[in-house]
Chains A and B, each alone.
Chain A
């Protein structure tokens, strides 16, 4: 039974088939029934009821009026605390609203709560959160599965039908991989499409906000709502935002899809190669030309990412010093000790690991060998895509090298955990838009995702290919 879509719900609200209150009470009920999944870091029924009251007294027409949306707890919100899933921000109440959440509020949406994530978005399983694991709603009893990460709470919130859409952020795959694990749609747009203002920074040259939803149409509606230029983010792009939804076109006749041979990697389960082939066959039937392409530097994307992202993180996370906001240690005999103890006690293990790595690769004597080298390889990776897109309109690959894995698996081996992002990281380094849509299941009936990548700011092509594949699969 397909979950109710955002598009359908907007119609039902419009024709008064359902009221904003009835709709949201339905969602509140499900949220309370699913507390065991640990999807939310912050949830307050009173807060939601207050938002409903306010909207009922508001007569203006708004595009997303009354629509329940879940917000990744990396976005600063005035009406709810913001933790980044870290102890160091345990009691942080932002005095300002992030660009993306402000846009959603302006459209009249209701925030049902703040969703769990890996601490500061550093992880692939939502298991580095200070507030505990999120459980994948598709888990069987006594076999809890990871929802993916870092936006695992948002992906799980959509999968468990606790909202009609959710925000996420994607630095190396943090929207697409959990979307794949939870069987929902997740889009990371082009770097610069959505302002980073008010999002706790992880790796600023990679961080990008995006959307989780039940289907591609809903994602196209929501992405349009959160995109746009913002002066407060110096990398925000001044581009026209099309009406993705109105322009959706599943006719791909005459288009060319690129299939990168480097994405066939050893150890990928057969089922994943199979859904990839299935997707290609579907496209071929639709009149799409299949073009084998090469992205020769693909294998270097992960090590490049694991230099650049920690380097930028070590710099961004310097602000958490126990002075301006958040947690401060009690052991504060001197200023230096205050810093060192606050950060030792406030950050979790993975975050500290990345700060240390980042500090090392940026430190005097090592900068050229690591950071500069990685930036040069990043250029080669971006060039690979530029060349490939001269020959094709979009690229299709699997989203992740596995289906959802058991909670706590891979936890002790950082490199093994990093390999989760093998198919998503290259496009992040190149700043390209990418979507993951559910496309087939593995032998345990767990969803698998197909990733579609497009040219810079060509989200429309990405949505068109996605909706075409989605409609052929249903």
Chain B
């Protein structure tokens, strides 16, 4: 088993998702079966194969590196669950 209780807790913590015990157990099973299934890729010889990350066959033009002032802070904050004087507001971080 690749994913045990400790691993799932670690991944959940990295993902910032709180899991209860029942969920942890379900995900341990799900993830193990998915990982076992994807491991068939090990049959494939990938020696000297370049990893493919950009699929586009066209030339992707770069934009000029110039700043643009859109003055849109109000728009950006419009959907914030909590805001204060032009900032996003979150629970207190420092005591």
Q: Is A444 an interface residue (CB 8 A)?
A: no
Q: Is A380 an interface residue (CB 8 A)?
A: yes
Tell whether A93 pairs with B49 under 8 Å between CB atoms, given A356-B11, A356-B12: no
Residues of A contacting B58 in the complex (Cβ-Cβ under 8 angstroms): 192, 237-239, 456-457
Q: Is A306 an interface residue (CB 8 A)?
A: yes
Residues of B contacting A28 in the complex (Cβ-Cβ under 8 angstroms): none
Residues of B contacting A323 in the complex (Cβ-Cβ under 8 angstroms): 80-81, 88, 90
Which chain B residues numbered 23 to 74 have a C-beta less than 8 Å away from chain A? 23, 27, 30-31, 33-35, 37-44, 46, 49-61, 63, 72
Tell whether A191 pairs with B90 under 8 Å between CB atoms, given A356-B8, A357-B31, A363-B14: no
Shortest distance in angstroms between B37's beta carbon and chain A's nearest beta carbon? Answer: 5
Shortest distance in angstroms between B14's beta carbon and chain A's nearest beta carbon? Answer: 5
Shortest distance in angstroms between A204's beta carbon and chain B's nearest beta carbon? Answer: 10
Quick check: B34 and A344 within 8 Å, CB to CB? no
CB within 8 A of A303: which of B17, B37, B49, B82?
B37
Quick check: A356 and B59 within 8 Å, CB to CB? no
Q: Is B15 an interface residue (CB 8 A)?
A: yes
Chain B residue with minimal CB distance to A386?
Answer: B57
Chain B residue with minimal CB distance to A231?
Answer: B63
Tally inter-chain residue pairs, CB-CB below 8 A: 173
Residues of B contacting A300 in the complex (Cβ-Cβ under 8 angstroms): 40-41, 43-44
**Stretch in A30-38, A261-269, A333-341 touching the partner:** A333-341
Q: Is A352 an interface residue (CB 8 A)?
A: yes
Quick check: A332 and B91 within 8 Å, CB to CB? yes
CB within 8 A of B91: which of A93, A338, A343?
A338
Tell whether A344 pairs with B18 under 8 Å between CB atoms, given A303-B40, A322-B81, A377-B41: yes
**Stretch in A4-12, A275-283, A367-375 touching the partner:** A367-375
Give the number of residues in B that approach A within 8 Å (Cβ atoms): 55
Q: How far is the CA of A318 from the CA of B61 in the complex (A)?
A: 27
Chain A residue with minimal CB distance to B38?
Answer: A303
CB within 8 A of B79: which of A235, A236, A326?
A326
Instruction: Tell me the dominant secondary structure on chain B's binding face.
Output: loop
Shortest distance in angstroms between A300's beta carbon and chain B's nearest beta carbon? Answer: 6
Quick check: B52 and A339 within 8 Å, CB to CB? no
Residues of A contacting B57 in the complex (Cβ-Cβ under 8 angstroms): 431, 456-457
Quick check: A356 and B49 within 8 Å, CB to CB? no
CB within 8 A of B56: which of A231, A235, A378?
A235
Chain A residue with minimal CB distance to B78?
Answer: A95
Q: Is A307 an interface residue (CB 8 A)?
A: yes
Residues of B contacting A429 in the complex (Cβ-Cβ under 8 angstroms): 55
Quick check: B51 and A379 within 8 Å, CB to CB? yes
Residues of B contacting A341 in the complex (Cβ-Cβ under 8 angstroms): 18
Shortest distance in angstroms between A206's beta carbon and chain B's nearest beta carbon? Answer: 8
Quick check: B38 and A356 within 8 Å, CB to CB? no
Chain A residue with minimal CB distance to B45?
Answer: A380
Quick check: B16 and A370 within 8 Å, CB to CB? no
Quick check: B49 and A379 within 8 Å, CB to CB? yes
Q: Is A325 an interface residue (CB 8 A)?
A: yes
Quick check: B15 and A314 within 8 Å, CB to CB? yes
Residues of A contacting B88 in the complex (Cβ-Cβ under 8 angstroms): 323-324
Shortest distance in angstroms between A195's beta carbon and chain B's nearest beta carbon? Answer: 12
Residues of B contacting A370 in the complex (Cβ-Cβ under 8 angstroms): 38
Quick check: B81 and A372 within 8 Å, CB to CB? no
Q: How far is the CA of A376 from the CA of B52 in the complex (A)?
A: 6
Chain A residue with minimal CB distance to B79?
Answer: A325
Q: Is B1 an interface residue (CB 8 A)?
A: no
Chain A residue with minimal CB distance to B2?
Answer: A360
Q: How far is the CA of A414 from the CA of B37 in the complex (A)?
A: 11
Q: Is A436 an interface residue (CB 8 A)?
A: no
Quick check: B55 and A297 within 8 Å, CB to CB? no
Q: Is A92 an interface residue (CB 8 A)?
A: yes
What are 5 A-B interface contacts by the 8 Å CB criterion?
A: A205-B55, A299-B40, A306-B34, A321-B16, A355-B15
Chain A residues within CB distance 8 Å of chain B: 91-93, 95-96, 191-192, 205, 231, 234-239, 297, 299-300, 303-304, 306-307, 314, 318, 321-328, 332-341, 343-344, 347, 352-353, 355-357, 359-360, 363, 370, 372-380, 382, 414-415, 429-431, 456-457
Sort A-B residue pairs by CB-CB distance and give the 7 closest, nearest first: A375-B51, A325-B79, A431-B55, A328-B81, A376-B46, A237-B58, A379-B52
